[in-house]
Amino acid sequence: MSADVDPLRSACLSVDLSGLRVLVVDDHVDTLDMMRVALEMCGAAVVVSNSAREGLQAVVRYGPDIVLSDLAMPQEDGFWLVDQVRSLQGGATGELPVIAVTAHARRYGYDEILRAGFDGLIRKPVDPVSLCDDVRGFVGRG
């Protein structure tokens, strides 16, 4: 590991996500890898999917405690995914936190994201040092 990981390693000492099952859905492999590594360093068990359709299958099979989903993906996007997840829950929101992850926060307003069924927003580029802290807050551990 490079010296760039040291701040992340230090941050993870103060953010314990052990026992937390996280699903990360993004069509960019680099983003998936970075988020997976950061969350695993904080103790989370992480499953990654590179499409919304694959992510929906992982929700059903894996039963995550939280889903982090990119909004802009080819074919089905993050809005499709959150709609499908909420349909599985009978339309209820908040049972499974689903967090939008996007570089297009200006294109999609925060209110639009919440109305679509998401529970929050993480802006790209994702800061790996604050990612674990953000996830901890979304699941009510902090």
Task: Give residue-wise pLDDT tens across range 34-65.
Answer: 999 999 999 999 999 999 999 999 999 999 99
CATH 3.40.640.10, applies to 3-138 = no
Rounded distance between C-alpha atoms, residue 89 and residue 96, angstroms: 9
Closest among 99, 98, 69 to 86, alpha carbons compared: 98
Domain boundaries, the chain: 3-138
Q: Is residue 8 scored above 90 in pLDDT?
A: no
- Mean residue pLDDT across the chain: 89
What share of the chain in percent tops pLDDT 90? Answer: 74
- Return the structure tokens found at 29: 């492999």
List, in order, residues 6 or more apart from 106 with CB less than 8 Å away. none
Q: HSE on the CB side for 28, CA within 13 Å?
A: 14
* Neighbour count for residue 30 (Cβ, 10 Å): 8
DSSP state at residue 76: S
- What is the pLDDT confidence band of residue 107, given thresholds at 50, 70 and 90? confident
First to last CA, the chain: 28
